[in-house]
A = this chain, B = another copy of it.
């Protein structure tokens, strides 16, 4: 269990379907978030449908705090984001999920207690709810087709939380852990193929020989060849020569 204030609380405001609460719990736990709060769920609490959907993330629901009203859910929070799809008359800073979760990380590091609230499935948050938030999160969707559901909106925010907090973005791991062939090994491979292809009569006609050899040599060096690749390629050529010799 993560310390209660080391991560934002995700507050589901008047959720309708238990399934969506369960799916939100799963979406959260995928990215390490365990602080859920539920405000006035339509079908009561605890919700069997939520537990059925949560498979494996039931502990998020077990630990969820239930409140009758939004003010109760937010009373210990020092900074709250409201997620909303539509532009509002309310004057508040609008963040993307990425910006918001970076901001949340900074505020939490400073000792603040952060919440992110999500509206009911059909209508979303009302202006009265949003008025209780410090800032807005709006997911940049296709203006011609915006149909993110509750758990998807939770998923994107949770994903951005993990991105904001993973110190080293997993590096474009160019074949990490794999032994790459070194220059000498590539050179041997290139020679091996050039010699056999020479014997096979591949380099022809005369005036193209040089450029054909350069192209072949260049291909080997351009490839990200592992040691295992090089061994396989040697083995293939040796087997081909045996095949020829058997003919």
A interface with B by C-beta (< 8 Å): 26-27, 29-32, 55-57, 91-96, 98-99, 138-142, 145-148, 152, 155-156, 159, 162-163, 166, 169-170, 172-176, 178, 193, 196-197, 199-202, 212, 215-216, 219, 222-224, 226, 228-229, 232, 235-236, 239-240, 242-245, 247
**Ordered nearest first, which 6 A-B pairs have the shortest CB separation?**
A200-B243, A244-B244, A202-B239, A247-B247, A32-B142, A29-B145
Residue of B nearest to A32 (CB): B142
30 A-B pairs within 8 Å (CB atoms) are namely A30-B147, A31-B141, A55-B147, A56-B147, A57-B147, A91-B226, A91-B229, A92-B175, A94-B172, A94-B173, A95-B172, A98-B163, A99-B172, A139-B159, A140-B166, A152-B155, A155-B156, A193-B236, A196-B240, A197-B236, A197-B240, A201-B242, A201-B243, A202-B240, A212-B232, A215-B228, A215-B232, A216-B232, A244-B244, A245-B247
The answer to whether A202 and B235 touch across the interface, beta carbons within 8 angstroms, is yes
Residue of B nearest to A222 (CB): B224
Residues of B within 8 A of A200 (CB): 239-240, 242-243
Residues of B within 8 A of A26 (CB): 147
The answer to whether B166 and A91 touch across the interface, beta carbons within 8 angstroms, is no
Report A122 CB to chain B, min CB distance, Å.
13
The answer to whether B31 and A142 touch across the interface, beta carbons within 8 angstroms, is yes
Which single member of B142, B201, B212, B229 contacts A30 (CB below 8 Å)? Answer: B142
Which of A29, A148, A199, A236 has the most B CB atoms < 10 Å from its CB?
A236
Report A195 CB to chain B, min CB distance, Å.
13
Report A199 CB to chain B, min CB distance, Å.
7
Which single member of B29, B96, B212 contacts A170 (CB below 8 Å)? Answer: B96
